[in-house]
Structure 1
Amino acid sequence: MKATYLTAIGALALTFALAACIPEPDVPLPPPPSQSPPPAPAAAPRTAPTPAPTPTPQPAPPPVSSGPVYENYLDAPQTPGDWGYAREPGETLAQFGTGISEARFILRCADGQVGLAYVTGRAQTAARAMTIRTETLTRTIEARPVAGQGELLAAFLAPSDPLLDAMAITKGRFAVLVEGQRSLYLPAWVEVSRVIEDCR
Structure 2
Amino acid sequence: MRILIPLAAAAVLSFVTSCVAPPSAPRPPAPVAAPPVRLVAPPAPAAPAVVPIDWRDWPQTPGDWRYERTSFGSQASFGSGSTGAFRIECGNDRHVHLERPGAIGTAFTIRTSSMTRVLSVAADGDPPHGVSASLPANDPLLDAIGFSRGRFVVEQAGTPPLVLPAWAEVERVVEDCRG
For the aligned pair, the TM-score class normalised by the smaller chain equals: 0.5 to 0.7
Does 1:87 pair with 2:65? no
**CA contact 1:120–1:181 (8 Å) conserved in 2:** no
| Cα separation, 2, equivalents of 1:84 and 1:72 | 27
Residues 149 and 78 (structure 1 numbering): CA distance in 2 closer, same or farther, change over 3 Å?
farther
**CA contact 1:143–1:154 (8 Å) conserved in 2:** yes
Q: Specify the alignment match of 1:195 in structure 2.
A: 173
Q: Deviations over 1:135-160 (max 9, x none)?
A: 00000011121131523110000011
| Cα separation, 1, equivalents of 2:69 and 2:58 | 31
Q: Deviations over 1:70-97 (max 9, x none)?
A: 4311110100000000101112100000
- Given residue 87 of structure 2, which amino acid in structure 1 is its aligned partner? I
| Cα separation, 2, equivalents of 1:145 and 1:128 | 10
- Flag the structure with larger Rg: 1
| Cα separation, 1, equivalents of 2:117 and 2:52 | 17
Q: Specify the alignment match of 2:58 in structure 1.
A: 76
Instruction: Report the identity percentage.
Output: 41
Residues 115 and 70 (structure 1 numbering): CA distance in 2 closer, same or farther, change over 3 Å?
farther
Superposed, 1:72-151 pairs within 5 Å as 72-99=54-81, 101-111=82-92, 112-120=94-102, 124=104, 127-151=105-129
| Cα separation, 1, equivalents of 2:70 and 2:53 | 38
- Given residue 148 of structure 2, which amino acid in structure 1 is its aligned partner? T
> Gaps (5+ residues) in structure 1?
1-67
> Gaps (5+ residues) in structure 2?
1-49
Q: CA deviation at 1:69?
A: 5.6
Q: CA deviation at 1:169?
A: 0.3
How many residue pairs align between the two structures?
A: 129
| Cα separation, 1, equivalents of 2:111 and 2:65 | 18
**CA contact 1:83–1:97 (8 Å) conserved in 2:** yes
Equivalent position SS for 1:197: helix
**CA contact 1:106–1:116 (8 Å) conserved in 2:** yes
